[in-house]
Structure 1
Amino acid sequence: MSDDLTFDSPVILGMMRLHERPEFDDPERFADWLEARVDQGLHWFDHADSYANHLGEARFGAALARRPSLKSRVRVVTKGNIVLPGHDPSPFGVKHYNSSARYLTDVIDRSLERLGVERLEHFLLHRPDPLMDAEDTARALDDAIDAGKIGAVGVSNFLPEQWRRLQAAMTHRLSVHQLELSLARPDALFDGFYDAILADGMAPLAWSPLGGGSVFEDVLGTALSRLAEQLDSTTAGLALAWLRRLPGSPVPVIGTLNEKRIDHLVHSGNLDLDRATWFALLEEARSHRVP
């Protein structure tokens, strides 16, 4: 991957909750927020066309329109193929997945338009689609790369045989896999899933890297608090350091937009965990001894 496709940031800022910040209805105010994050070196932003019914992408684009100088400094990941019930033209009004070439081409074009950027650094298929025609899907994704609309393609939440079926039909390589991974959800490390991602040369991105807050609860939360105090860190920082210790150095996709919370996570997650501490935390997370 070229330099501008490499995740050279300690975290990726997830935009899933962007619509929950009413003050960011003001594009100028959100542009200020964006510029401050980019100045911190946090220039990767994770979107999906389904987030808040397209509002997340549109709000981001409105801010960039007010601050055009930011367009060359931000790096955008977005995801698509989820059709929300309100956009289902059938009588069923059902949420479903659509990975057809025609639909994906339209999704990519509309995301570019809403975000106000000339290229998406990474476009990910958001969910595996049981009705995916791999050759048809691959053609749309390869064409989008060749046209310069996207820098690279990846997947989210796919199982190995699902992404390998798509990869076999593609000319370009799948470059990214976004998966749920945290101390609270470590199963991917033991069922071959995470190893398959690395073996197939994809960069791992970890969504919900704090388990939606569950890492701070019960026995695991108590252990994190105790160790964080001993190591002069924080519970959240320790949980992110545990994640980064993995081969492949998965990049956490954090969901908070709170400036102080972001600063806290960035500065407290740089701890270099030794092997014994890593496994001690794993024992607490799984509630049983390492066999």
Structure 2
Amino acid sequence: MNKKPIEQPVLLGMMRLLDYPELATPQALLGFVERCVEQGLNGFDHANIYGLGQCEAHFGAALRLRPQLRGQLQLISKADIVPAAQDVSRWRVKHYNTGAAYLTGAVEASLTRLGVERLDGFLLHRPDPLLCADEVVRCLQALVESGKVGWLGLSNAEPLHWQSLGRDLPLRCNQIELSLMAQQSAWDGQLQAMQADGLQVLAWSPLAGGAFSPALQQALAEVAGALQATPNQVALAWLRRLPGSPLPILGSLRWSRIEEALNGATLQLDAPTWFYLAEAARGRKAP
């Protein structure tokens, strides 16, 4: 299996796709996707629970208007979270399901909604405390061998999760929350461990949903002024300075925000600037 990393400035997260009126029609969304590809952005990060499947369905409706575009895209999806609204048991409880039947069905349902024959990447969405490793390994291997999945990864996994499954599966990435406001993995060795194990780091919520503390907002503005950049560009550059150059998953689909990220893609921070921002976010000095 190809473990070549995804090479583009950002991935585009599809979780809030339905929140954008300007992308509400398949034709409008197709135009957006085409514009992304023209700018070198071809990776789209889905999950079967985004919009309870409607985000994938809407994306698929757009892609059906121009099927030949599929060859230029990298489509990633995730599964194993069962929201309470989709729990068919008497308990109606959110839970995880990594059973072979569920994962296989989730992949096939995503393929149907997207109108494609293969997911480029498929990730287990959250660590399942009831995961049976042998069953999951056989299931994911079968999905790859069938051609329905190109490569495999994990999301929100801790070291023992990826190391245990990685003995038998060529895992390509781990998608984790990572930002100035969620920087624990930068300090506890997890990023170095992922790099050592050959996992690309995909960073979800890289701008913390805009919820930067006042102290961090001030520090970002100071650095942005010194570097002739924007605060968001500086925050993304802070991520790129980390081991493995984590790839941000941009949650916003506003073109101005995407363009801002693209224009700042080459911005680099030196070590003192990185620590200055980390300290502002954490509220304490480095150990």
TM over 0.5, shorter chain: yes
Rounded to whole Å, the distance in 1 between the matches of 2:252 and 2:107 is: 26
* Structure-2 change in CA distance of 1:2 and 1:135 (3 Å): closer
Q: 258, 263, 270: which is aligned to 1:267?
A: 263
Other structure's SS at 1:19 match: helix
Q: Could you tell me which residue of structure 2 aligns to residue 84 of structure 1?
A: 83
**Contact in 2 for aligned 1:238/1:269 (Cα 8 Å):** no
TM-superposed deviation, 1:287: 1.6
Does residue 186 of structure 1 match 2:187?
no
Q: 213, 222, 225: which is aligned to 2:218?
A: 222
Rounded to whole Å, the distance in 1 between the matches of 2:267 and 2:244 is: 17
Rounded to whole Å, the distance in 1 between the matches of 2:189 and 2:257 is: 33
Rounded to whole Å, the distance in 1 between the matches of 2:71 and 2:5 is: 15
1:173 maps to amino acid: P
Question: Can you give the 5+ residue segments of structure 2 that lack an aligned partner in the other structure?
Answer: none
**Contact in 1 for aligned 2:186/2:242 (Cα 8 Å):** no
Rounded to whole Å, the distance in 2 between the matches of 1:269 and 1:240 is: 8
Per the normalisation by structure 2, the TM-score is: 0.96
Question: Can you give the 5+ residue segments of structure 1 that lack an aligned partner in the other structure?
Answer: none
**Contact in 2 for aligned 1:236/1:269 (Cα 8 Å):** no
TM-superposed deviation, 1:282: 1.5
Q: 230, 234, 247: which is aligned to 1:234?
A: 230
TM-superposed deviation, 1:290: 2.3
Q: 227, 246, 252: which is aligned to 1:250?
A: 246
- Could you list the per-position Cα deviations for residues 36-95 of structure 1 after superposition, in whole angstroms to 9, with x for gaps in the alignment? 111111100000000010011101100000111211111111110111222211111111
Other structure's SS at 1:176 match: strand
2:258 maps to amino acid: I
Larger deviation: 37-46 or 83-92? 83-92
Q: Where do 1:50-61 residues align within 5 Å?
A: 50-61=49-60
Rounded to whole Å, the distance in 2 between the matches of 1:273 and 1:247 is: 13
Does residue 287 of structure 1 match 2:283?
yes
Rounded to whole Å, the distance in 2 between the matches of 1:270 and 1:10 is: 9
Other structure's SS at 2:92 match: coil
Rounded to whole Å, the distance in 2 between the matches of 1:241 and 1:269 is: 7
TM-superposed deviation, 1:289: 2.0
- Could you list the per-position Cα deviations for residues 232-274 of structure 1 after superposition, in whole angstroms to 9, with x for gaps in the alignment? 0010000000100112111000101111111012112421111
Other structure's SS at 1:154 match: strand
Does residue 155 of structure 1 match 2:154?
yes
Q: Which runs of 4+ in 1 moved over 6 A?
A: none
Rounded to whole Å, the distance in 2 between the matches of 1:6 and 1:248 is: 10
Rounded to whole Å, the distance in 1 between the matches of 2:132 and 2:124 is: 13
CA RMSD of aligned residues (A): 1.4
Rounded to whole Å, the distance in 1 between the matches of 2:286 and 2:162 is: 31
Q: Could you tell me which residue of structure 2 aligns to residue 62 of structure 1?
A: 61
TM-superposed deviation, 1:176: 0.6
Rounded to whole Å, the distance in 1 between the matches of 2:187 and 2:243 is: 14
Rounded to whole Å, the distance in 2 between the matches of 1:174 and 1:87 is: 28
**Contact in 2 for aligned 1:241/1:271 (Cα 8 Å):** yes
Rounded to whole Å, the distance in 1 between the matches of 2:133 and 2:121 is: 19
**Contact in 1 for aligned 2:43/2:75 (Cα 8 Å):** yes
Q: Could you tell me which residue of structure 2 aligns to residue 212 of structure 1?
A: 209
2:250 maps to amino acid: I
Q: 181, 200, 203: which is aligned to 1:203?
A: 200
Q: Where do 1:123-162 residues align within 5 Å?
A: 123-162=122-161
Rounded to whole Å, the distance in 1 between the matches of 2:94 and 2:64 is: 31
1:186 maps to amino acid: Q
Other structure's SS at 1:237 match: helix
Rounded to whole Å, the distance in 2 between the matches of 1:165 and 1:97 is: 18
Other structure's SS at 2:18 match: helix
- Could you list the per-position Cα deviations for residues 169-210 of structure 1 after superposition, in whole angstroms to 9, with x for gaps in the alignment? x3x311110001111111111122222211211110000001
Q: How high is the sequence identity, in percent, across the aligned residues?
A: 45
**Contact in 1 for aligned 2:191/2:243 (Cα 8 Å):** no
TM-superposed deviation, 1:280: 1.5
